Amino acid sequence: MTSNFLIIMSDEHQARALGCAAHPLARTPNLDKLASRGVRFTNAYTPSPICVPARASFATGRHVHQVQCWDNAMPYTGSVQGWGHALQERGIPVESIGKLHYRDERDPTGFDRQHVPMHVQDGIGQVWGSVRRESERVAREGDRMLGPDVGPGESGYTRFDEAVVRRTERWLAERAGSGDDGPWCLFVGLVAPHFPLVVPQPFFDMYPADRLPEAKLHPSTGYRRHPWVERQNALMNNEEKFRDPAERLAAMSAYYGLCSWMDHNVGRILRALEASGMKDGTTVAYTSDHGDSVGARGLWGKSNFYEESVAVPLIMAGPGMPRGTCDTPVSLLDLSRTVADHFGCEIDAAAGMESLAAIAARPEEADRAVFSEYHAVGSVSGGFMLRRGRWKLNWYVGFAPELFDLVADPEEMTDLASDPGHSEILADLETELRAVCDPEEVSARAFADQDALVARHGGLGAALGLGAPGATPPPERGQVPARPDPR
């Protein structure tokens, strides 16, 4: 009999910020426990290191340049069908609770029902971020992408996650008591650890300032960011807008506190699953839409191709899943294919995507290639990443590439792209990247679609004023006070 499938997707969880990944600080006992009874994919990547494009790609199993949801103002509408639609056609109940970040709940996005959904603001999202040309874009003075407050407390996001968890607990209990023993699929979207960097006091206190590590490659040490990254960051200026060093440390404490808060909520969901009696018949997948730099290179948030931003945590446990770790490079698009395959469905996924269950059952395939791309807020041209084996290529249209050896240099301290001794592998990776897409053509197509979007909203002047300056506001009707006990 086909098992149920529970997908839990957090937001902005750095892949390394897990106890089971040997992070020196992060305390994630519930995710560690899930990993201990399943498989943790150690080299998992997002199709795009920003919310809306990543989630559209996950919904469909297709690359961003195929679905053309380029940025946070071009949300998924269901026009390109994905795994949810395939399950609906098969008659599998499929519902969502929490953050989706699509256009709105009225669109046919592959769910029978959406509970306390969170979508882009006003159905249009962050239109100002679609203005990307250096000659046109404008930094929003006075706004800080991370939000005005940093530290202990509550925010709309912590209250929203509380509502999501309570609804999930109720959903599982109701399903167990329904008398229907057929398989189901449930997607749960948590917003933590996405900024605002505000977390209930007990979780903030888990990470005192004197225990925090120094941020690597901070510009104050003489490190110079890649020009594409420097231009991208110039529109955000998160690091530069901290009031003082103490607030910067508080931001780091809050981020890790939010990781533990999120883990606490995952634990509540998993305990509710066990209490329902459905644990043994349910496959559970935990992941995130992208990571967060958390101060590395003087960067905060996502939107780049360094491991802190582009890698994602990915854990699967359930009937038939092996235990341990899988080092084969994988993508969230493989998870899309996994959900469909689990229920015997077909989706028109990107070439090369396959079930994570099958990948985990085989010996490591180190040379499997994984692709990511970015055409959103702050970027002055298209950015692309190809990870294959030990090598990672970051390709920027109109700029020099970056090349890293992730075995010898897992912290990406040394760019080898200009080293003549690595010219052959650089050329080889570029060829493989161009087999996935034409970077110049894709970049031009993204700009054309964004130009058209800006025109529809009344031109540059109007577009630059549309959308939240930072985090998408949570729905007011889906907020309740948090339970701050970390135990």
- Whole-number pLDDT of residue 138: 78
- Whole-number pLDDT of residue 290: 99
Nearest of 288, 300, 311, 331 to residue 13 by alpha carbon: 288
Contacts of 290 (CB under 8 A, 6+ apart): 12, 46, 48, 49, 50, 51, 54, 302, 309, 310, 312
Give domain limits for the chain.
4-478
Tens-digit pLDDT profile for the chain (487 aa)?
Answer: 679 999 999 999 999 999 999 999 999 999 999 999 999 999 999 999 999 999 999 999 999 999 999 999 999 999 999 999 999 999 999 999 999 999 999 999 999 999 999 999 999 999 999 999 988 887 766 667 888 899 999 999 999 999 999 999 999 999 999 989 999 999 999 999 999 999 999 999 999 999 998 889 999 999 999 999 999 998 887 888 899 999 999 999 999 999 999 999 999 999 999 999 999 999 999 999 999 999 999 999 999 999 999 999 999 999 999 999 999 999 999 999 999 999 999 999 999 999 999 999 999 998 999 999 999 999 999 999 999 999 999 999 999 999 999 999 999 999 999 999 999 999 999 999 999 999 999 999 999 999 999 999 999 999 999 998 889 999 876 676 766 555 4
Q: Write out the H or E segment, with its range, that includes residue 10.
A: strand 4-11
- Whole-number pLDDT of residue 235: 85
Q: What is the pLDDT of residues 423-446, one digit of tens each?
A: 999 999 999 999 999 999 999 999
What's CA 464's distance to the chain center, in Å?
25
- Whole-number pLDDT of residue 23: 96
The correct CATH number of 4-478 out of 3.30.70.1340, 3.40.50.300, 3.40.50.720, 3.40.720.10 is 3.40.720.10
Q: What is the pLDDT of residues 246-295, one digit of tens each?
A: 999 999 999 999 999 999 999 999 999 999 999 999 999 999 999 999 99
DSSP conformational letter for 3: P
Give CA–CA dist 304/205, Å, rounded.
29
Give CA–CA dist 63/140, Å, rounded.
30
- Whole-number pLDDT of residue 313: 99
DSSP for 332-386, please give it. HHHHHHHHHHHTT----PPTT---HHHHHHSPP-TT-EEEEEE-STT-SS-EEEE
Alpha helix segments (H runs only) across 112-237: 156-176, 201-204, 227-234
Give CA–CA dist 151/129, Å, rounded.
27
Give CA–CA dist 256/300, Å, rounded.
13
- Whole-number pLDDT of residue 386: 99
- Whole-number pLDDT of residue 137: 84
DSSP for 80-120, please give it. S--HHHHHHHHT--EEEEEE--SS-TTS--S-SEEEEEE-S
For the chain, give the mean pLDDT: 95
- Whole-number pLDDT of residue 49: 99
Q: What is the pLDDT of residues 228-241, one digit of tens each?
A: 999 999 888 788 88
- Under 8 Å between Cβ of 67 and 103: no
Contacts of 284 (CB under 8 A, 6+ apart): 6, 8, 34, 38, 270, 273, 315, 316, 317, 318
- Under 8 Å between Cβ of 134 and 225: no
- Whole-number pLDDT of residue 487: 45
Assigned token pair, 289? 């839409």
Q: Write out the H or E segment, with its range, that includes residue 315.
A: strand 314-317
Count Cβ atoms below 10 Å from residue 369 Cβ, excluding itself.
18
Give CA–CA dist 5/91, Å, rounded.
14
Q: What is the pLDDT of residues 160-192, one digit of tens each?
A: 999 999 999 999 999 999 989 999 999 999 999
Assigned token pair, 326? 């899988």
